[in-house]
Amino acid sequence: QVQLVESGGGLVQAGGSLRLSCAASGRSFSTIAMGWFRQAPGKEREFVSAITWSGAITYYADSVKGRFTISRDNAKNTVYLEMNSLKPEDTAVYYCAGSPPSGKVYTNEYQYWGQGTQVTVSS
């Protein structure tokens, strides 16, 4: 069992930066892929980024490619999402997720989910 707690959200102006963190409890963190999703008001939850258990491979939605960077520190049981050049359309609740089915990092079929952290980007 893995429990996930996100932090680092907040209010930022367009063009600014934020770094989200997701702290995990449980011994299996270092063996599972992790992802970030977001959900804007009135919209479905969408994939943002994912990273394999070792950190060797990363995945990004086209909308954030080149602006967001996912990373992980298995010694600290933490995954990060560095968000730069933020846009108002990045406003959403951001969720950390863990352990997707094999080959399905882009889907929302992850086994573990955090409660989310709000990111608001003002224009």
- Per-residue pLDDT at 107 exceeds 80: yes
Listed range (52-61, 80-89, 97-106) with the worst mean pLDDT: 97-106
Quote the pLDDT of residue 43.
97
What is the 3 state secondary structure string of the chain? CCEEEEECCEEEECCCCEEEEEEEECCCHHHCCEEEEEECCCCCCEEEEEECCCCCCEEECCCCCCCEEEEEECCCCEEEEEECCCCHHHCEEEEEEECCCCCCCCCCCCCEECCCEEEEEEC
| pLDDT tens, position by position, 30-80 | 999 999 999 999 999 999 999 999 999 999 999 999 999 999 999 999 999
Quote the pLDDT of residue 116.
98
Quote the pLDDT of residue 26.
82
